[in-house]
Chain A
Amino acid sequence: MRGDRTVPVLAVASAALLALAPAAPQWLVFLLALALSKGLVVLGLVLLMRTGLVSFGQGLYFGLGAYSAALLANRAGLADAGLMIVAGTACAAAVAGVLGLLLARYREIFFAMLSLAFSMILYGGLVKSSALGSTDGFNLHAKEFGGMALAAGLERRVFYAGSVVAVFVTGLIVHRYLSSHWGRLSAAIRDNELRVEYLGASVYRVVYVNYVAAGALAGMGGAFAALAVGHVDPETAYWTTSGEFVFIAILGGTGSVLAPFLSTAIFEAVRTIANQYAPNVWQMTLGIAMLAIIMFLPRGLWSLVARGRRSA
């Protein structure tokens, strides 16, 4: 990790993003807020992918985070955005803590499909619950953030600033974790589990920790997304949402904790440009863009940055 400049880059990028909060146009603030929220989910996926696991069910935690945050505000009357984010993260982490006991034994597609099955069971439950609006979902309103009342019209900017801070902190923690002893075991597990076991480390425990962390990150992302959008619906737990996270993760590559956020921002931007300016063929445009990235940057978008840095 000689010459690793992840931390300074993370700090500069976060400061720049924070500077945008008061001044940028509302659509950009929203686009970035959504990209950062989803980026948190993708960061969790990258953590899992380091151990060679791909989850097609992160929608479970994304949806749980969004719904528990929204329900806290609308049903329990605790409409503090800070509390909502903590609740969303904790709720997702708790469920991941239970399901992880089971899922940490699974590998490859069986891991992917079992996690998908769990997310679809949550989806089914949400669709069935007409008290929560079924597929229509419901709107949520946060009234304060960390005890301070939110000024009308500025809520989205405050939530966005909150997500920048969250991204900075989690990015830092995950980066530290990945360069720690445990974090490096992840890559070893992906290469060869048996060898890791022979060396005396517990594969199960590493996978379990990564899984719970990924769940917590997805829950936090879900809560931030719910705040940014102002609405929750079961689509957050649907398999296509989970699939999208996987594709964004692959597009970005697993090279750095910064990659997920760059990748999500580009994915969201391409999609919205395609839909605004090529509404009849936006799917095809998105497909071609994805193929182009895979063809020319087989190690993900991040390799563009990494390469640029090497040549500089």
Chain B
Amino acid sequence: MSSILAILFDGVVYSSWLFMMAAGLTLIYGVMRILNIAHGSLYALGAYAAATIAGAWLAAGYAPVGSYAMLALAAVLVGVVVGPLVERGLLRRMYGQDEVVLLLVTYAAFLMLEDAIKLVWGVESKLLTEPYSLPGNFHIGALAYPRYNLVLITVAIVTGLALAWALYRTRQGKLLLAVIHDREISAAMGINVTRVYLVTFTLGSMLAGLGGALTAPTIAVSPGIGVEVIVLSFAVVVVGGLGSLGGAALGALLVGVVRSFAVRYWPEAELFTIYGVMALVLIARPKGLFSAPEARKI
């Protein structure tokens, strides 16, 4: 029993990480119709910024608890500095073009950011372990787990709920939903679509940065960490249904838990889990788990 519990827990930790990435991606796609390949670079930037800022905080001898605030600060910085830079500097010039052209623009941004990260931080890995080891361990059965995992899960849940509240209960959120549903009509109704885009992209970047910042203490922050994230979060978003927050959550949970069971009972299949899940879900539900009915345009 406790072993099943442990497997589920491992799955949920992984899901929390996936969700953080997927939430930002699905938001940006829903509103702006951009498949943001640079999302992976924003994740990496979040991790590097966290390692630098929280590392400096700890090196200066301030209270170690404060390093968690520094992780959050890193995420916010990535959101408000790099987000608008990419949106204003690059994407804005391209609106109105084909979706695939915008995809290419984000790919170019990804290539440039990868080298930019290398130029700023070098190729050596950056380590930031204190926030991970600080809270100590707890046990499920005989297995020890760092309490930091609980931080990850909590932040993912809180982020999800806060986003849902902001989208469905606030005026700004409802405007966003209107844009997701129909961009042209929204613009005609007087919604400032340009501003909505800027806010969305900043928020999405912040989420990617947050994912990176919270992962930084558990990994060696090194070149290339952003690449794998891209296709994983694309898969989660598509499994869940594009532009759907609940879908992203469910998709992340499904992929994370299936993967965790595979690792324990069928490790040979681990490599296939995410794509297997994606293929099966899409074959059963061609538009993902949660898909909004679309108006047919004649």
Interface residues, chain A, with chain B CB atoms under 8 Å away = 49, 54, 102, 105-106, 109-110, 113-114, 116-118, 120-121, 124, 127-128, 192, 194-195, 239-240, 243, 246-247, 250-251, 280-284, 286-288, 290-291, 294-295, 298
Kindly list chain A residues whose C-beta atoms are within 8 Å of the C-beta of B288. 110
Closest CB of chain B to A246's CB: distance in Å?
Answer: 7
Q: Are B119 and A109 interface neighbours, CB within 8 A?
A: no
CA distance A300 to B272 in the complex (A): 36
Q: Mark B109-124, 1 if CB is under 8 A from A, else 0.
A: 1111011101100000
Q: Are A281 and B282 interface neighbours, CB within 8 A?
A: no
Closest residue of B by beta carbon distance from A127: B271
Closest CB of chain B to A197's CB: distance in Å?
Answer: 10
Q: Are A298 and B296 interface neighbours, CB within 8 A?
A: no
Whether, in the assembled complex, B12 has its beta carbon less than 8 Å from a beta carbon of chain A, the answer is: no
Q: With A113-B234, A288-B112 known to touch, is A243 a contact of B282 (CB < 8 Å)? A: no
Interface residue SS majority, chain B: helix
Contacting residues of chain B (235-284) with chain A, CB-CB under 8 angstroms: 235, 238, 242, 268, 271-272, 275-276, 278-279, 282-283
Q: Are B35 and A110 interface neighbours, CB within 8 A?
A: no
Whether, in the assembled complex, B85 has its beta carbon less than 8 Å from a beta carbon of chain A, the answer is: no
Interface residue SS majority, chain A: helix
Kindly list chain A residues whose C-beta atoms are within 8 Å of the C-beta of B282. 106, 110, 113-114, 117
Contacting residues of chain B (162-194) with chain A, CB-CB under 8 angstroms: none
Whether, in the assembled complex, B5 has its beta carbon less than 8 Å from a beta carbon of chain A, the answer is: no
CA distance A287 to B110 in the complex (A): 8
Q: Mark B56-90, 1 if CB is under 8 A from A, else 0.
A: 00000000000000000000000000000000001
Q: With A109-B242, A247-B107, A290-B107 known to touch, is A118 a contact of B271 (CB < 8 Å)? A: no
Q: Are B107 and A294 interface neighbours, CB within 8 A?
A: no
Q: Are B275 and A120 interface neighbours, CB within 8 A?
A: yes
Q: With A105-B286, A113-B234, A287-B109 known to touch, is A121 a contact of B90 (CB < 8 Å)? A: no
Q: With A247-B104, A250-B104, A284-B115 known to touch, is A117 a contact of B235 (CB < 8 Å)? A: yes
CA distance A198 to B97 in the complex (A): 28
Q: Are A109 and B35 interface neighbours, CB within 8 A?
A: yes
Q: Are A290 and B111 interface neighbours, CB within 8 A?
A: yes
A-B contact list, 19 entries, CB within 8 Å: A54-B100, A113-B282, A114-B283, A116-B275, A117-B235, A117-B276, A117-B279, A195-B298, A239-B231, A246-B103, A246-B104, A250-B103, A250-B104, A280-B115, A281-B115, A284-B116, A291-B108, A294-B101, A295-B93
Q: Are B100 and A124 interface neighbours, CB within 8 A?
A: no
CA distance A110 to B278 in the complex (A): 10
Kindly list chain A residues whose C-beta atoms are within 8 Å of the C-beta of B242. 109
Kindly list chain A residues whose C-beta atoms are within 8 Å of the C-beta of B158. none
Closest CB of chain A to B26's CB: distance in Å?
Answer: 11
Kindly list chain A residues whose C-beta atoms are within 8 Å of the C-beta of B110. 287
Kindly list chain A residues whose C-beta atoms are within 8 Å of the C-beta of B235. 113, 117
CA distance A43 to B47 in the complex (A): 39
**B interface residues, how many (CB within 8 angstroms):** 43
CA distance A194 to B109 in the complex (A): 36
Interface residues, chain B, with chain A CB atoms under 8 Å away = 29, 35, 90, 93-94, 97, 100-101, 103-105, 107-112, 114-116, 118-119, 227, 231, 234-235, 238, 242, 268, 271-272, 275-276, 278-279, 282-283, 286-288, 296-298
Q: Are B279 and A283 interface neighbours, CB within 8 A?
A: no
Kindly list chain A residues whose C-beta atoms are within 8 Å of the C-beta of B119. 281
Q: Are A192 and B298 interface neighbours, CB within 8 A?
A: yes
Q: With A117-B235, A121-B275, A124-B271 known to touch, is A287 a contact of B108 (CB < 8 Å)? A: yes
Q: Are B111 and A128 interface neighbours, CB within 8 A?
A: no
Closest CB of chain A to B90's CB: distance in Å?
Answer: 7
Closest CB of chain A to B257's CB: distance in Å?
Answer: 19
Most chain A C-beta atoms within 10 Å of own C-beta, residue among B93, B101, B109: B101
Kindly list chain B residues whose C-beta atoms are within 8 Å of the C-beta of A106. 282, 286
Q: Are A283 and B104 interface neighbours, CB within 8 A?
A: no
Closest residue of B by beta carbon distance from A49: B100
Q: With A114-B279, A120-B275, A128-B271 known to touch, is A283 a contact of B107 (CB < 8 Å)? A: no
CA distance A288 to B271 in the complex (A): 34
Most chain B C-beta atoms within 10 Å of own C-beta, residue among A109, A110, A117, A295: A117
CA distance A298 to B111 in the complex (A): 19
Closest CB of chain A to B56's CB: distance in Å?
Answer: 26
Kindly list chain B residues whose C-beta atoms are within 8 Å of the C-beta of A282. 115
Kindly list chain A residues whose C-beta atoms are within 8 Å of the C-beta of B278. 113-114, 117
Kindly list chain B residues whose C-beta atoms are within 8 Å of the C-beta of A118. 279
Contact of A298 among B97, B107, B297 (CB under 8 A): B97
CA distance A277 to B286 in the complex (A): 46
Kindly list chain A residues whose C-beta atoms are within 8 Å of the C-beta of B94. 294
Q: Are B283 and A124 interface neighbours, CB within 8 A?
A: no
Closest CB of chain A to B254's CB: distance in Å?
Answer: 14
Closest residue of B by beta carbon distance from A281: B115
Closest CB of chain B to A102's CB: distance in Å?
Answer: 7
Closest residue of B by beta carbon distance from A291: B108
Q: With A106-B286, A121-B279, A243-B107 known to touch, is A298 a contact of B115 (CB < 8 Å)? A: no
CA distance A139 to B119 in the complex (A): 36
Q: With A194-B296, A281-B115, A286-B111 known to touch, is A251 a contact of B104 (CB < 8 Å)? A: yes
